[in-house]
Amino acid sequence: MMAPVRPVIVAGNWKMHTTPTEAAALARSIAVVIDEPTVTRVLCPPFVALGSVAGALVGTGVAVGAQNVHHEASGAHTGEISAAMLEGLATWVICGHSERRREACETDDLIGRKVARALEHGLRPILAVGETSDQRDAGDAARVVERQLEGAATALRAAGGDPTGPAAASLVVAYEPVWAIGTGRTAHGVDAAAMADLIRMTLASVGWASADDVPVLYGGSVTAASAAEFLAEPSLDGALVGGASLKPDEMAGIVARASLTARARSETAAARRTR
């Protein structure tokens, strides 16, 4: 049996931008220009805009994702959002974004518990991993990413989840080279592809379900101009887009390039089936 073709995914992280009204209008504008069903498209607005964006995207084929989720099911956690609260508003959720790790001091264990909650409630988690400049310069990049993935698997088991189970197969990983975000340093496609291979090898080593089939996205200041270099790499399956995801023209360019990758993969798979 041939391995399934990994989907090509473009997820936009709007961070702390847009009011609910602004978000709905922006979502409608973006949905029109990214009408590429060969690409899995996700928009992640702020919590307060999830409802308005979900309404704006009805019938477009564009999914809605949350930017974060709490690691507990419920309780005295003022200002937090549980996975159950996201049901009906979002079908995806970002876990462990570098800004959350830095600003909220989120640990690998905590992030793994967030992944567990997401899977428990049928949300598709995008687990963000990546190293800082200091970690990369010290030669620790691979070990940092391995530790982040191992921590997620350990925490998932501790929370009663099963990395080997079918639900875990919905995981998506986003590689964020923190050292290349807003620093003037540039990551290249070969850098990200090598890390994508390491990510799948590490997931396999901890027994993660269908590790070879886990999509890996690139998340380092992606733009329409830079997307082609990363989407040309067979090990990479799309992009987690930050600031550019607030610009319809940028998203149109990124998704258009992603669709070329998706079609090429589909055609290659079809050719193999006929041999």
The residue among 235, 225, 108, 130 whose CA lies nearest residue 183 is 130
Q: Would the pLDDT of 15 be above 90?
A: yes
Task: Give the range of the structural domain holding residue 218, as residue numbers without chain letter.
Answer: 9-16+25-30+38-51+61-70+83-273
What total of structural domains would you count in the chain? Answer: 1
User: What gap in Å lies between CA 89 and CA 248, rounded to an integer?
Assistant: 22
Is 102 a domain residue? Answer: yes
CATH number of domain containing 161: 3.20.20.70
Is 75 a domain residue? Answer: no
Is 4 a domain residue? Answer: no
Position 243 scores a pLDDT of 94
Mean pLDDT of the chain: 94
Q: Would the pLDDT of 153 be above 60?
A: yes
Is 119 a domain residue? Answer: yes
Position 2 scores a pLDDT of 52
pLDDT digit string (tens) for 107-149?
999 999 999 999 999 999 999 999 999 999 999 999 999 999 9
The answer to which of 16-25, 56-65, 152-161, 197-206 has the lowest mean pLDDT is 152-161
Is 1 a domain residue? Answer: no
Is 265 a domain residue? Answer: yes
Catalytic residues: 97, 176
CB-count exposure of residue 102 (10 Å: 0-12, 13-18, 19+): exposed
pLDDT digit string (tens) for 47-73?
999 999 999 999 999 999 999 999 999
Is 3 a domain residue? Answer: no
Indicate the pTM of the whole model. Answer: 0.95
- Looking at residue 32, what DSSP letter applies? H
Q: C-alpha dihedral over 193, 199, 201, 206, to 10 degrees?
A: 180
pLDDT digit string (tens) for 206-255?
999 899 999 999 998 899 999 999 999 999 999 999 999 999 999 999 99
Band (1; pLDDT cuts 50, 70, 90): very low
